[in-house]
Chain A
Amino acid sequence: MFVVVCAVLAGLLLAPAPPAAAWDDWGGGYGDSGYGGGYYNETEDREWGQEAAREAGREKRRDELEVKKAADSAEHAAYTDSIIEASKASVQAPRGVYYRKPGFVSGEAPGSGAQVIEEAGVKVFYEQGIFWVKQGTQYVVIAAPVGVVVDTLPAATTKVATKTAGEYGYFFGTFFQRQEKKFVIVKPPAGLNVTYLPDGYATKGTQEATLYAVGNITFKPVFVMGVLVYQVVGS
């Protein structure tokens, strides 16, 4: 073993030094050129020089790609941040539910299954809990008009109730009450609890007594049996 180690050390010490010019040209960054300690050779040196020049070009392109990648990454991060920020706008809203907040504009018309309602001379399209009106060539989401009667409830409607006021359907700030086989948009009674507020709510009051406003409806935060809910205090 000792003989082997000595032989290796001797080999390392006695091996010819790599050519200085070629060594300097490695500045491109290759750490493993395959150079094995061979003898100096002028042709080889020239080839190495050419290769180093090509490598410098490749390195430049790599740098450019890195800059572009960083820019793309920053753009992507900004995009995801904006999505996260937008999602924070609602409080505890259920995930995986189709929802568009008032003011949202779309170039696409509501689906063919949308219910068409005449409200104050304006044609309103109702689909999956969302109310749309046409503005020029586009469609804009509006707040649910109180008093309007719709045929169906959105799939993610939550049942909410008070002991005295009865049962209501709740979907992203809109309250429904059954009217025979249909449902009417209503102002909620005080004391009704909902488990989330939709995107676009506003806060008012102080930190010690914060209130949340969704359109004309005002809520206060309350823990009911350990679960945070938002209780209607006025509408």
Chain B
Amino acid sequence: MPLKKSRWFVSAVCISLLAVGGAARAEEKSSIEPRAERILLAAITNLAAAKSYMFRGETTTEGQTPGGHRLEYAGTVQGAVRRPDHAWVRVENEDVRRTNWYDGKTFAYLDVAANVYATWPAPPTINELFDKLKEKLGFVPPMAPLMRQLDGKEVLKSAKSGFYVGEAIVRGSACSHLFFSQENNDWELWIDNVVPVIRRMVITYKKLPGAPKYSVTFTDWDFNATLPDSVFAFYPPPGATRAEFEIVKP
């Protein structure tokens, strides 16, 4: 697998979790342990109720060189959400540096390393934005499921199985470790036992060569964030080149 393949992982994270969010329906009957379902739904409900928040995490992305050597790229992810129509997210690792802005009217996407950007006239809400992005441009920004308002009832329909793994400590917080399996991915979540937020997650892309993993350990959640319009406003950096989005479905 070429090294650049790892660039797809971050996007794939969103797509996979989006599917968990109800985009796809599993044909097989799912087998989800009620305890795992209850803990996950609490986290989703908590996030859906938040009006304005920020998060920050440390990521690892597995990749492979053209010579077949397995590598791990360390990085960070940051996001800001002001419901229902403002979102911002930035991912940075050794392989990818991208920032996304959405202000209710325009979606802007910047490849920081290449200093190339594109903009797109956007729908009026975050949920509609992500639906349209996936449909028209074939991708959603990283961490999209953490920014859209999910319906808890729809969330687990694409999971084939899921169970409570056990208790764990993540960055000093007591967490419940959960496992869920979908057709293409397995994912694990560590959800805080005190405040139901995701402290860590790991996605395993089991259908890709080498079954690479993508992980995020969340270092900050701020549900009292004051987020002015300037956070979500995009201004092209000096010297930036404008590109186009390829429309996958006109």
Binding site for B on A (CB under 8 A): 91-92, 94-97, 155-156, 158, 195-196, 203, 207-210, 220-228
A156–B230 Cα gap in the complex (Å)?
43
What total count of A-B pairs have CB within 8 Å?
Answer: 78
On chain B, the residues within 8 Å of A225 by CB distance are 11, 137-139, 246, 248
User: Given A95-B65, A155-B67, A156-B66, list of 15 further CB < 8 A pairs?
Assistant: A96-B3, A96-B69, A97-B66, A155-B66, A195-B4, A203-B241, A207-B240, A210-B242, A220-B243, A221-B116, A224-B246, A225-B138, A225-B139, A228-B114, A228-B243
Please measure, in the bound complex, the distance between the C-alpha atom of A210 and the C-alpha atom of B139, giving whole angstroms.
Answer: 24
Q: Is B244 an interface residue (CB 8 A)?
A: yes
Q: How far is the CA of A220 from the CA of B242 in the complex (A)?
A: 10
Residues of A within 8 A of B7 (CB): 195, 227
| Complex interface: chain B residues within 8 A of A91 (CB) | 114
Would you call B137 and A226 a contact (CB within 8 A)? yes
Question: B37 near A: Cβ within 8 Å?
Answer: no
Given contacts A155-B67, A207-B239, A228-B111, contact A222 B246 (CB under 8 A): yes
Q: Are B2 and A158 in contact (CB under 8 A)?
A: yes
- Bound complex: CA A11 to CA B239 (Å): 70
Q: Chain B contacts of A195 at CB under 8 A?
A: 4, 7
Distance (Å) between the CB of B49 and the closest chain A CB? 29
The distance in angstroms between the C-alpha atoms of A155 and B65, with both chains bound, is 11
Asked if B194 is an interface residue, CB under 8 A from chain A, the answer is: no
Interchain nearest-CB distance for B18 vs A (Å): 13
Q: Which residues of A contact B243 (CB under 8 A)?
A: 220-223, 228
